[in-house]
């Protein structure tokens, strides 16, 4: 019995990487997923992007300067990082290693270049791509969110085409048509993968 508990404690947590074009609904889906599954942890990235109204430092992101970001890159602190539409985003290695080492299951919500860097470093990571029902609906959601100016929206749509092309390299693809349906599908994939470990 004692041995079983010890074995469980030594089991590293599972890493899930979720990507999808800007405005597809990743944030909305993840918020619901985490509400329903409080044992899942969401990693907080560092970014040089300015906070949107309502975003909180240390909750949504660690909002840092370009200089601080560059210093972290030079010190090799990032497990992965990239530039996306003019801003830098990165995942700190120590946090991922510490969380997985404690046996906790962790989600990274990151774009495709970072996701593919992760897959190379941690092949057992599970990559899930969230697709929009159509490009028109994606644009509609991105504009409807009302958080970006026109230049940023155009840049994000451009990134969206590139990212959708990468989605064939992911382990799973989920279409976020109806929010609840997509949530159930996402949850099913995660539970299936957790049952394997
Ligand atoms: P992302 O995190 O992928 O950039 P958000 O979660 O911010 O996207 O969602 C963008 C917009 O789309 C938000 O206004 C959100 O309410 C809306 N949205 C998310 N999922 C759906 C869905 N299944 N159907 C309709 N609107 C959605
Ligand atoms: P946003 O500015 O909309 O919050 O994020 C823009 C894009 O950057 C999204 O696709 C988001 O998933 C991605 N992103 C957020 N954090 C990271 C990160 O740490 N690394 C990488 N590679 N992408 C990230």
Which residues, other chains included, contact 3 with Cβ-Cβ below 8 Å and sequence gap of 6+?
none
Global pTM?
A: 0.94
- Pick the closest to residue 122 from 93, 144, 150 (CA basis): 93
In a domain? residue 80? yes
What is the chain's pLDDT, residue by residue, as a tens digit (197 residues)?
A: 333 343 345 689 999 999 999 999 999 999 999 999 999 999 999 999 999 999 999 999 999 999 999 999 999 999 999 999 999 999 999 999 999 999 999 999 999 999 999 999 999 999 999 999 999 999 999 999 898 899 999 999 999 999 999 999 999 999 999 999 999 999 999 999 999 97
Residue among 45, 53, 153, 156 to mutate when testing ligand 2 (max atoms within 8 A of CB): 45
Joined together, the tokens standing for residue 101 give 């080492």
Q: Which atom of ligand 1 is nearest to the CA of 176?
A: 23
The DSSP secondary structure of 43-96, one letter per residue, reads ---EE-SPPPTT--BTTTBEE--HHHHHHHHHTT-EEEEEEETTEEEEEEHHHH
- CATH number, domain of 147, equals 3.40.50.300
For residues 64 and 132, give the distance between their C-alpha atoms in angstroms, rounded to a whole number.
30
Q: How remote is the CA of residue 11 from the centroid of ligand 1, in Å?
A: 34
Nearest residue (CA) to ligand 2, atom 15: 110
In a domain? residue 7? no
Q: Give 124's DSSP letter.
A: T
**Domain tally for the chain?**
1
In a domain? residue 154? yes
Per the structure, the complete domain to which residue 138 belongs is given by 15-196
In a domain? residue 175? yes
In a domain? residue 3? no
């Amino acid at each position: 019995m004692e041995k079983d508990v010890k074995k469980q404690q030594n089991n590293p947590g599972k890493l899930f990487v979720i990507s999808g074009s800007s405005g597809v609904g990743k944030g909305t889906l993840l918020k619901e997923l985490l509400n329903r599954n409080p044992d899942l942890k969401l990693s907080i990235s560092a970014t040089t992007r300015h906070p949107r109204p309502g975003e909180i430092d240390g909750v949504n992101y660690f909002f840092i300067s370009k200089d601080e970001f560059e210093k972290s890159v030079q010190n090799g602190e990032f497990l992965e990082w990239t530039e996306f539409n003019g801003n830098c985003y990165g995942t700190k290695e120590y946090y991922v290693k510490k969380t997985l080492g404690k046996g906790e299951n962790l989600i990274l919500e990151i774009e495709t270049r970072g996701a593919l860097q992760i897959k190379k470093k941690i092949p057992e990571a599970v990559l899930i791509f969230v697709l929009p029902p159509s490009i028109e609906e994606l644009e509609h959601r991105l504009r409807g969110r009302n958080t970006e100016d026109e230049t940023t929206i155009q840049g994000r749509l451009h990134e969206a085409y590139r990212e959708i092309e990468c989605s064939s390299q992911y382990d799973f693809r989920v279409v976020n048509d109806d929010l609840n349906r997509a949530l159930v599908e996402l949850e099913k994939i995660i539970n299936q993968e957790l049952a394997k470990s």
